[in-house]
């Protein structure tokens, strides 16, 4: 089959189909041939539009990251902006949990991920945090969000009561975690995020805030 009158593939169509496929079936079984079949095409045809499989995954990952809202850093106080960002970040990742193991390794060269890091870091520095501190805060929150989206705590436990009853006295109810997965994971995230922000506010008051209030006019 030669070149068709109307191109059957575009980068956007490939990325959308890949996202849907990964969402539905998971990363381990995602292959170029499988993706191509979904698009009504043979595997190698994808290489007219992407150089490698990883380039496709990068595009998927960046689309997911692109849904994260960092606008709070332009309008809110730093703590409120961090909170909004963290929740938005979490929502974006948990909407596509199967790509998270790939995405969580770092921003690499993905524009949306870099733009997000830029907005967060810039917002914190503007709020008065010392640059090194701003880096640490951005990293710490990324750790927390990525970790929460990656290893859904609740899903990580097997649904097998006998496994726990014998050897793990405190985990007798662990097999039930899966039932309440969403509320467990969200509750843990809410608790952890609140605690983190609480601690950061204390740190801000101790270091940055005192300077401001000691020299209110400049």
Question: Which positions touch DNA (CB under 7 A)?
Answer: 1-5, 7-9, 29-34, 36, 41-45, 47-49, 51-54
**H helix or E strand, kind and range, residue 52:** none
Q: Which does 66 bind (CB under 5 to 8 A by kind): DNA, its own copies, none?
A: none
Note whether 197 binds its own copies by CB under 8 A. Answer: yes
Q: Which of 122, 128, 175, 208 binds its own copies (CB under 8 A)?
A: 122
Q: 39 or 163: whose CB is closer to its own copies?
A: 163
Residue found by looking up tokens 């959308």 in the block: 16
- Sequence-distant (6+) residues with CB within 8 A of 149 are 90, 93, 94, 97, 100, 104
Q: Which does 197 bind (CB under 5 to 8 A by kind): DNA, its own copies, none?
A: its own copies
Total residues at the site for its own copies (CB under 8 A)? 67
Give the burial class of 114: count Cβ atoms within 10 A of its Cβ; 0-12 exposed, 13-18 middle, 19 or more buried. Answer: middle
* Nearest Cα residue to 101 out of 51, 158, 159, 60: 60
Segment contacting its own copies by CB under 8 A, of 2-10, 62-70, 76-84, 168-176? 168-176
Q: Which of 144, 175, 208, 209 binds its own copies (CB under 8 A)?
A: 144
* Nearest Cα residue to 57 out of 22, 24, 97: 22
Q: 67 or 114: whose CB is closer to its own copies?
A: 114
Q: Which does 76 bind (CB under 5 to 8 A by kind): DNA, its own copies, none?
A: none
**H helix or E strand, kind and range, residue 38:** helix 32-38
Residue 214: CB minimum distance to its own copies, A: 23
Q: Which does 187 bind (CB under 5 to 8 A by kind): DNA, its own copies, none?
A: its own copies
CA dist 113 → 19, 28, 63, 118, 171 (Å): 17, 23, 9, 9, 38
Residue 66: CB minimum distance to its own copies, A: 14
* Nearest Cα residue to 60 out of 2, 101, 121, 4: 101
Note whether 152 binds its own copies by CB under 8 A. Answer: yes
């Amino acid at each position: 089959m030669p070149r068709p009158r109307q191109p059957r593939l575009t980068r956007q169509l490939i990325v959308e189909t890949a996202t849907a496929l990964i969402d539905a079936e998971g990363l381990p079984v995602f292959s170029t041939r499988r993706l191509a079949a979904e698009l009504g095409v043979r595997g190698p045809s994808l290489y007219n539009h992407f150089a490698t499989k990883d380039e496709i995954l990068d595009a998927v990952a960046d689309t997911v990251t692109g849904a994260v809202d960092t606008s709070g850093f332009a309008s809110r106080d730093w703590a409120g902006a961090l909170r909004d960002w963290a929740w938005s970040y979490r929502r974006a990742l948990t909407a596509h949990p199967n790509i998270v193991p790939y995405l969580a390794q770092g921003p690499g060269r993905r524009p949306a991920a870099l733009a997000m890091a830029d907005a967060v870091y810039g917002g914190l520095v503007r709020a008065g945090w010392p640059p090194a501190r701003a880096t640490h805060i951005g990293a710490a929150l990324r750790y927390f969000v990525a970790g929460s989206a990656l290893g859904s705590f609740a899903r990580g436990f097997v649904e097998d009561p006998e496994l726990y009853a014998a050897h793990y006295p405190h985990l007798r109810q662990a097999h039930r975690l899966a039932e309440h997965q969403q509320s467990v994971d969200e509750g843990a995230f809410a608790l952890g995020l609140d605690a983190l922000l609480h601690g950061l506010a204390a740190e801000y008051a101790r270091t940055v805030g005192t300077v401001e209030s000691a020299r209110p006019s400049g």
